[in-house]
């Protein structure tokens, strides 16, 4: 069958049904979901409250373009309540790339400038401007997608395990990155920079988080230079890291933010939000969408936000992930090919290396561990030499440890095959 993604080619399977954290294939095999359907079904598969909300509007009113509906009104009120103060100017779309593209247009409308800086190994979507802000990584192969559009620049971002600039003690030097950005902006963009576009944590690159002082210092730099901070939370937002916004971990409020993936727990709905002081930009960017904000989408998003609150899932993510990190560090001590473990909440990664001293990536081991764990009943996401884990927010400690046990068994088998 042509047209299958690389993930499907690594482990061909036909899924037939799912409930909660479980998936069942067409042969009746059951899998523990450690991917949330690629960061999407964060509240588990077929959550009854969400399914019922979608069904209600599917039988009542499917689409009314951008007109107001009762369920859309309630969703806007709920979003205003959970987002940082001043972030209430919202436009709904149906996919992440479209929301990012709209955010780029909004940044241009707000500033009157047309250039953007983003970071190597970030991912922002697969349409032209979005892909110009990102870089897709698959193992050791760098795929830049279509030719980068003019006016889009890329810079390195801090990775604590693989820093470019370090202090005398060898630790990552955040200030050196900020100084580089400032010099780059002043020399390369010549006053035309509209926004700095970043993921709060790099999802596709392998659950890589910057040091805690990075975003507060970047916020200060953007304010000093008159540059907007564009926070793309399509992958990392809406509870995945134990906060509504991942940027909340650092008490940083972006000028522009996008949501998606888990926003509707599998139903296509995304959002672009800009600070209220820039609300008029929404009238300048042709922000309408054929499917975005239809009643079914609004119902799915509203029900998802309510479930997170009603079931205390932010607290669950924080508690269970803390125990997962303890277990992952123990695994790192036991296994010679685990160079690093990383993450916040349920956005986690295990980095595989050929040697802990050289830190040489071990992409083939990552592929084999992925396949072996899948055969043992773990449905998850490949990412080259960094194993990515994104279990649903409803995952409890017992199932979390079950997933890590499967992964550790697979790692042990691969180590044995390679003679470690």
Say whether both 68 and 85 belong to one domain: yes
Contacts of 17 (CB under 8 A, 6+ apart): 23, 24, 45
d(C-alpha 119, C-alpha 230), whole Å:
12
> Per-residue pLDDT tens for 90-115?
999 999 999 999 999 999 999 999 99
Residues 355 and 413 in one domain: yes
**Which pLDDT belongs to residue 7?**
62
| Domain endpoint, select from 310, 325, 345 | 310
Whole-number Å distance between alpha carbons of 66 and 286: 12
Query: Given this model, what pLDDT does residue 191 score?
Result: 84
pLDDT beyond 80 at 66: no
pLDDT at 6: 58
Q: What is the pLDDT of residue 10?
A: 66
Whether 43 maps to a domain, the answer reads: no
Instruction: Provide the CATH number for the domain around residue 371.
Output: 3.90.1150.10
Which 3 state secondary structure label does DSSP give 351?
strand
C-alpha to C-alpha distance for 242 and 390, rounded to whole angstroms: 12
- How do residues 120-152 score in pLDDT, each as one tens digit? 989 998 888 888 888 654 443 344 444 678 889
Identify the domain containing residue 412 by its residue range.
6-33+312-417
Q: Report pLDDT for 336.
A: 98
Instruction: Name every residue whose Cβ is closer than 8 Å to that of residue 286 and which is 6 or more positions away in sequence.
Output: 105
Residues 273 and 142 grouped into a single domain: yes
CATH of the domain at 122: 3.40.640.10
Q: What is the pTM of this model?
A: 0.93
Q: How far apart are CA 387 and CA 381, in angstroms?
A: 7
Structural domains counted in the chain = 2
**d(Cα 405, Cα 412) in Å, to the nearest integer?**
11
Q: What are phi and psi of 139, to 5 degrees?
A: 60, -130
Neighbouring residues of 244: CB distance < 8 A, sequence distance ≥ 6 = 82, 83, 237, 238, 314
């Amino acid at each position: 069958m042509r047209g299958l993604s690389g993930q499907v080619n690594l482990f061909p399977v036909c899924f037939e049904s799912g409930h909660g954290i479980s998936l069942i294939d067409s042969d009746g095999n059951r899998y523990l979901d450690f991917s949330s359907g690629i960061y999407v079904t964060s509240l588990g598969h077929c959550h009854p409250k969400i399914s019922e909300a979608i069904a209600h509007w599917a039988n009542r009113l499917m689409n009314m373009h951008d007109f107001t509906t009762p369920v859309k009104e309630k969703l806007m009120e709920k979003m205003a309540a959970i987002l940082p103060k001043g972030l209430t100017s919202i436009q709904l779309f149906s996919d992440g790339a479209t929301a990012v593209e709209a955010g780029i247009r909004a940044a241009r409308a707000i500033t009157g400038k047309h250039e953007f800086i983003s970071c190597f190994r970030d991912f922002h979507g697969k349409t032209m401007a979005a892909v110009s802000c990102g870089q897709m990584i698959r193992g050791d192969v760098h795929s830049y997608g279509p030719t980068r559009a003019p006016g889009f620049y890329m810079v390195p971002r801090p990775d604590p395990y693989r820093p470019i600039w370090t202090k005398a003690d060898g630790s990552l030097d955040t200030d050196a990155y900020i100084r580089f950005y400032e010099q780059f902006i002043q020399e390369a963009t010549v006053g035309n920079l509209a926004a700095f576009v970043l993921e709060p944590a790099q999802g596709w690159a392998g659950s890589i988080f910057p040091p805690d002082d990075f975003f507060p210092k970047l916020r200060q730099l953007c304010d000093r230079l008159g540059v907007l901070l564009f926070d793309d939370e399509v992958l990392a937002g809406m509870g995945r890291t134990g906060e509504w916004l991942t940027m909340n971990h650092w008490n940083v409020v972006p000028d522009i933010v996008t949501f998606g993936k888990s926003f509707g727990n599998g139903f296509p709905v995304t959002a672009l939000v800009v600070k209220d002081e820039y609300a008029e930009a929404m009238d300048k960017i042709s922000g309408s969408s054929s499917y975005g904000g239809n009643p079914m989408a609004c119902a799915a998003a509203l029900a998802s936000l309510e479930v997170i609150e009603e079931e205390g899932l932010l607290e669950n993510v924080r508690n269970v992930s803390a125990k997962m990190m303890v277990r992952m560090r123990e695994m790192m001590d036991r296994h010679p090919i685990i160079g690093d473990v990383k993450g916040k909440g349920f956005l986690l990664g295990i980095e595989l290396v050929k040697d802990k001293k050289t830190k040489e990536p071990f992409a083939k081991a990552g592929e084999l561990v992925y396949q072996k764990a899948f055969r043992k009943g773990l449905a998850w996401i490949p990412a080259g030499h960094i194993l990515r884990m994104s279990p649903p927010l409803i995952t409890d400690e017992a199932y979390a440890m079950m997933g890590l046990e499967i992964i550790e068994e697979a790692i042990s088998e691969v180590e044995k095959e390679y003679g470690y």
